[in-house]
Amino acid sequence: MPDLAETDAFAGLDLPITMGECRLATCAPQLITSVAPRNGREAAVDAVLRDFELGFPTPGKMIVSGSARIIWAGRETAFLMGVEPPAGLRLEAALTVQSDGWAGLHLTGSGAEAVLARLIPLDLRLSTFAVHDVARTLLNHMPCLIFRPAKTAFEIYVFRSMAGTAVHELTEAMRSVAARQAVWQE
């Protein structure tokens, strides 16, 4: 048993919060391993992962199998979340533990797209950014990894050090969107 206490990336922040048609909560910390196939080993990596009903995702996509998810995270890289990397993967890919480097937020509700439209320049309409679509982009000024686990839900991962700013930005956007929904506008 570790003798050191764990501190959550969002410690001291008041989450979850609900405003208008939107709720912001933290994603439970989980094991995150970056998987970068070695030269010419993309097919082998894909095969190893397929044995676990996953596979190596194409750019902008993610694959889900039970509590395990593998999410495209950039050039020739994916983040395996929620499970230990399968045995044999290390021979085919560079694996790096990233669990503590990223802070995940879960934004849900019918107002989620409107909130993100204040912070993210990408087209996140369902017709363009479908369920299980993934993007590396900016959350206002912060680099982020965003994906859509369900129609009205987004998970947004930012650098752990920026967790406070991310919550601040999202909360402010939620406040404005909620105010628009609440104010009677003839």
Partner 1 sequence: MTQPQRIPGKGSIDRTRPVRFTFDGREYEGYHGDTVASALLANGVRLMGRSFKYHRPRGVMTAGSEEPNALIEVMENGQHTPNVRATMQEIYRGLATRSQNRWPSLSFDALAVNDRLSAFLSAGFYYKTFMWPRAWWEKLYEPVIRRAAGLGVLSGKHDVGRYEKAWAHCDLLVVGSGPAGLMAALVAARAGADVIVAEEDRQMGGRLLSDAPEVDGLPGDAWAAEVLGELVELPNARVMRRMTVTGAYDDGSYGALERVGLHLGEPGNLPRECFWRIVAKRAILAAGALERPIAHPDNDRPGVMLVSALRAYVRRWGIDPGRTVIFGNNDGALDAARALTAEGVRILAYVDPRPGIDPVEEFRVYRGEVVGTTGRLGLKTVKFRHKGGTSELAAETLALSGGWNPTLHLACHMNARPNWDDAISAFVPRDGMVPNLTVVGAASGQFSTAKCLEQGAAAARAALAELDRKVPDIRVPKAGDGRYAIAPLWSVQVPGHAWLDFANDVTTKDVVLAAQEGFSAVEHMKRYTTQGMAPDQGKSSNVAALAVLAEATGQGIPATGTTTFRPPFVPVSIAALGAGARAKGFAPERRTTSDVVARRMGAPMIEAGLWFRPSYFPRAGEATWRDACDREVKMVRESVGVCDVSTLGKIDVQGADAERFLDFVYTNTMSTLKPGRVRYGLMLREDGHVMDDGTCARLAEQQFMITTTTAAAGLVMRHLDFVHQAFCADWDVRLISVTEHWAQIAMAGPKARELLNTVLEDPVTPESLPFIACMSTQVQGVPGRVFRISFSGEQGYEIAVPARYGTALFERLVAEAEGLDGGAYGMEALNVLRIEKGFITHAEIHGRVTAFDIGMDRLVSSKKDCIGRSASLRPGLIGEDRQQLIGLMPVDAQEPLTAGAHLYAKDASARAADGQGYVTSVAYSPTLGSWLGLAFLTNGRARHGETIRLDDGLRGRKVICRVCDPVFLDPEGGRMRA
Applying CB under 8 A, which residues contact partner 1?
1-9, 11-12, 29, 34, 36, 38-39, 75-77, 93-94, 96-102, 117-118, 120-123, 125, 127-128, 140-142, 159-162, 164-166, 168-169, 172, 175-176, 178-180, 182-183, 186
Write down the least CB distance from residue 59 to partner 1, Å.
Answer: 15
Nearer to partner 1, 68 or 173 (CB): 173
Write down the least CB distance from residue 107 to partner 1, Å.
Answer: 16
Write down the least CB distance from residue 2 to partner 1, Å.
Answer: 4
Cis peptide before 149 (omega within 30 of 0): no
Write down the least CB distance from residue 164 to partner 1, Å.
Answer: 6
CB 134 within 8 A of CB 74: no
21, two tokens: 């048609």
Instruction: Give CA separation, 87 vs 28, 35, 123, 130, 161, in Å.
Output: 25, 13, 38, 32, 31
**Close Cβ partners of 88 (under 8 Å, ≥ 6 residues apart):** 48
Write down the least CB distance from residue 137 to partner 1, Å.
Answer: 11
Nearer to partner 1, 4 or 87 (CB): 4
Nearer to partner 1, 65 or 171 (CB): 171
CB 37 within 8 A of CB 44: yes
What are the residues facing 133 on neighbouring strands?
Answer: 61
Nearer to partner 1, 65 or 152 (CB): 152
Nearer to partner 1, 62 or 170 (CB): 170
73-87 b/e (C-beta count within 10 Å ≥ 16 → b): beebbbbbbebebee
